[in-house]
Structure 1
Amino acid sequence: MTVKAVVSGLGITAPNGLGVREFWAATRAAKSGIGRVTRFDPGQYPATLAGQITDFTAEDHLPRNLLPQTDRMTRLALVATDWALADAGIRPEELHGFDMGVITASSAGGFEFGQGELRNLWAKGRQYVSAYQSFAWFYAVNSGQISIRNGMKGPSGVLVSDQAGGLDAVAQARRQIRKGTNLIVSGSVDASICPWGWVAQLAGERLSTSADPQAAYLPFDPAANGHVPGEGGAILIVEAHEAALERGARIYGEIAGYGATFDPRPDRGRVPGLRRAIELALADARVRPAEVDVVFADGAAIRELDRVEAEAITQVFGPRGVPVTAPKTMTGRLYSGAAPLDLATAFLAIEDGLIPPTINVSPAAEYDLDLVVDRPRAASVCNALVLARGQGGFNSAMVVRDIACGHG
């Protein structure tokens, strides 16, 4: 019998809300966290907007000895983990270390920390570079710091596949649960809103250059012209269903299905892989297209990429065949943190029977999508599909469902 992997705790750090309650209230109210960058002066750059977390003070949540050795993304991840464990009713010190693991994703690593230390190297000399530079910038640092802080010695790792990595990490967590690990901390938090990180993102040529927060990030809109980056994400506590039931845990839902593909080179003339990823996820979950109640779209806001995603959705579900939403229009694209935040949002949508909106968008008729815009839509949500794509060709899809729904 296949072990069901369920989510029993959520920890959210997002531009429009810290913690589950604040984030979900803002999302239901269509409240945006996108605005002009304040972490540095963006005036010399063509892109000036971001989804920033403006009310987070690490000293209020973490011991001071951790601060010199951690990047902003790691501080956010550690706090999100604390909140997720508390939400799940888990006290790590009461569990055996080898029964707990950590699998996260990362897109850029600790960019801001690395920027500061390299500035010290060039401006002052090597003696002014922190020894923590050896790991604080690294992709795997969040997994490492979470595991150290909580005594987690079980299967651990990091996935690096841009935005798709957020789903890939949770899928790997499910694999480890099925292999017998009791608990996996998974998901992702990314943050690289600093000059070096900004230049790297601009190099990808996908950032919106609009200075109007309400007109900058418009997936599936005729005016789409790039995305707004953001910081934050979500950490999920993944457990075996039976173990969660035994301890009387609140269960948000099941990680029911997963599929991943890689796009061919553009000059090969082959079709993109997103549709196949969707079909693999549905088959893995044993869910028919008609049983999917909402799709959380990747929402690249690049016309060609929007077209590819819309075609994949309509080919599987039919024209306007399923409600589609992209609540990341309220936060910006959080890179590897985006998809775990969408997973958390999907679980909250299941719980409340409410599909969150895609804000500021007037959907293009040519895409044939039933896009939920402006305000939430009441709906019974049993199965939700979350999509994520990473620059370079990564495609991932994940089905999550209300545990009460059973198999399709």
Structure 2
Amino acid sequence: MTTRQTHLTTARQTPEVAPDAVYVTGWGVASPLGMGAADFSKAFVEERDALADVTAMFEEKLPADRAFAIPDFQVRDHLGRKGTRFFDRSTALALVACDQTLQDTGFAVTDENRGQVGLILGTTSGSVKSTSDFSRETITEDRPYLVNPVLFPNAVMNCAAGQAAIWYGLKGVNTTIAGGRMAGIAALRYASRSLRWGDADALLVGAVEEFSPHNAWLTHLPGGSAPAGEGAALFMLERGEALLASGRRPDAEIMAVASASADPADRPAFVEAFADCVRQALREAGVGPGDLWAVAPGSGPESAIETATLEAGLGGDTVRRLPVARLVGECHAAQGALQLAAVLAHHRQDAALDGRPALITSFTPEGGVGAAVARGWQR
């Protein structure tokens, strides 16, 4: 196997940027651990406890009193009051994360470039609370109007992506990917291809999930071990040629993204398909298991599937695992994006990791499996 040993150093280095490679040039997070890359990075590396009391958030009964949510989150505190009154929670989280990403990147959307700047956003099925509330009103409210039409856009799955494009004036590719826990990796794969094919010059890429009674019960009823969570993480992706032209330093390179599917009812075959996906990502990235400084799994160590997959795919269980699920909870669609944010958080805090690759893995109960390899640098 060809490896990139020449890049794996323990001192701060100048990234070797390839014109046709895809790079992260900035990122942002809206999470209980912090708003923005800097706050999230510090909190994640310090492994702060972000569990919050959620008993006052909703009138509906919740399965637990504490969750990885942001009880005091108000979009107007970040984007102002004008135009934000009717945003659902998913849209609000996504727009705040977009705002943080644009600030972190220093990227200016102008009339000259907005046609080549787009957004790829992962979700489970949009704002489940908005959809459910709107549907319930058609039964419970008085005729002839039944529902508030102003709230209908929130019930559409691509609401967050559409509102973000309007808010920031993005006229390029605008895609919503419904992938559940695979949404983050699916968005990275879609965006990487779009950039390489010349469909866009720059893309905001990530995923979002809101905390609601619906998602809390969805997490709890199947016997999930991690408390329900919420958050959004967005990354600005650009081709290397843009960085070479401007002289900017990247946060990370997306070295490879792989995905597949298998029958989850056949546990051994499913694990093997997942492990093959890991091997494929490593092979495409040109790195071996021994080159990895960490793995950011979507589940905790109690996940027998992910544990068995990593042992099979990496030839053992010696690579450091980042405690993503323990620190952010079960964030469904946002999980994969937060896994990448966790990797980049350590790079923000530690120059000794410059140029070293990490692995991100994810799977869904329905049979989707995915893996991505990224190497980062300190700003």
- Greater relative contact order (Cα < 8 A, sep 6+): 2
Q: Which residue of 2 aligns with 1:189?
A: 208
For residues 169 and 52 of structure 2, the distance between their equivalents in structure 1, rounded to whole angstroms, comes to 38
Query: How far apart are 1:386 and its partner, in Å?
Result: 0.8
Q: Which residue of 2 aligns with 1:249?
A: 248
Task: Render the CA deviation track for 1:176-226: whole Å, top value 9, x for unaligned.
Answer: 1101121011101110x33333344444x133xxxxxxxxxxxxxxxxxx2
User: SS of the residue aligned with 1:6?
Assistant: strand
Q: Which residue of 2 aligns with 1:134?
A: 152
Aligned-residue RMSD, C-alpha: 2.5
Query: How far apart are 1:27 and its partner, in Å?
Result: 1.4
Query: How far apart are 1:300 and its partner, in Å?
Result: 5.0
Q: Flag the 1:310–1:198 CA change in 2: closer, same or farther, 3 A.
A: closer
User: SS of the residue aligned with 1:261?
Assistant: strand
User: SS of the residue aligned with 1:92?
Assistant: coil
Q: Which residue of 2 aligns with 1:296?
A: 296
Q: Flag the 1:269–1:241 CA change in 2: closer, same or farther, 3 A.
A: closer
Q: Flag the 1:167–1:271 CA change in 2: closer, same or farther, 3 A.
A: closer
User: SS of the residue aligned with 1:341?
Assistant: helix
Of residues 94, 102, 109, the one that matches 1:77 is 94
For residues 265 and 28 of structure 1, the distance between their equivalents in structure 2, rounded to whole angstroms, comes to 33
Q: Flag the 1:347–1:265 CA change in 2: closer, same or farther, 3 A.
A: closer
Correspondence 1:95-174 to 2 at 5 A = 95-125=112-142, 127=145, 129-174=147-192
For residues 245 and 128 of structure 1, the distance between their equivalents in structure 2, rounded to whole angstroms, comes to 56
Of residues 17, 26, 30, the one that matches 1:13 is 30
For residues 138 and 277 of structure 1, the distance between their equivalents in structure 2, rounded to whole angstroms, comes to 32
Of residues 306, 310, 317, the one that matches 2:307 is 310
Q: Flag the 1:20–1:307 CA change in 2: closer, same or farther, 3 A.
A: same
Report the identity percentage.
25
Task: Render the CA deviation track for 1:206-263: whole Å, top value 9, x for unaligned.
Answer: 33xxxxxxxxxxxxxxxxxx22110102011001112023223341010001111112
Q: Flag the 1:250–1:141 CA change in 2: closer, same or farther, 3 A.
A: farther
Which 5+ residue runs of structure 1 have no aligned equivalent?
A: 208-225, 355-377
Q: Which residue of 1 aligns with 2:349?
A: 352
Of residues 31, 46, 60, the one that matches 1:29 is 46
Q: Which residue of 2 aligns with 1:371?
A: none
Task: Render the CA deviation track for 1:50-91: whole Å, top value 9, x for unaligned.
Answer: 101134221122353533442111111111101101111111
Which letter maps to 1:307? A
Query: How far apart are 1:391 and its partner, in Å?
Result: 2.8
Q: Which residue of 2 aligns with 1:329?
A: 326
Normalising by structure 2, what TM-score? 0.86
Normalising by structure 1, what TM-score? 0.80
Query: How far apart are 1:268 and its partner, in Å?
Result: 8.4
Q: Is the 8 A contact 1:206 1:227 kept in 2?
A: no
Which letter maps to 1:262? S
1:395 aligns with 2:366: no
Moved more, 157-166 or 87-96: 87-96
Q: Which residue of 2 aligns with 1:342?
A: 339
User: SS of the residue aligned with 1:322?
Assistant: coil
Q: Is the 8 A contact 1:2 1:178 kept in 2?
A: no
Query: How far apart are 1:271 and its partner, in Å?
Result: 3.7
Q: Flag the 1:130–1:178 CA change in 2: closer, same or farther, 3 A.
A: same
Which 5+ residue runs of structure 2 have no aligned equivalent?
A: 1-17
Number of residue pairs the alignment of both structures matches: 357
Moved more, 136-145 or 345-354: 345-354
User: SS of the residue aligned with 1:3?
Assistant: coil
Q: Flag the 1:195–1:54 CA change in 2: closer, same or farther, 3 A.
A: closer
Q: Which residue of 1 aligns with 2:235?
A: 236
Task: Render the CA deviation track for 1:138-195: whole Å, top value 9, x for unaligned.
Answer: 222222111122222222212112111111101111111101121011101110x333
Moved more, 96-105 or 178-187: 96-105
Q: Flag the 1:276–1:132 CA change in 2: closer, same or farther, 3 A.
A: farther
Q: Is the 8 A contact 1:294 1:385 kept in 2?
A: yes
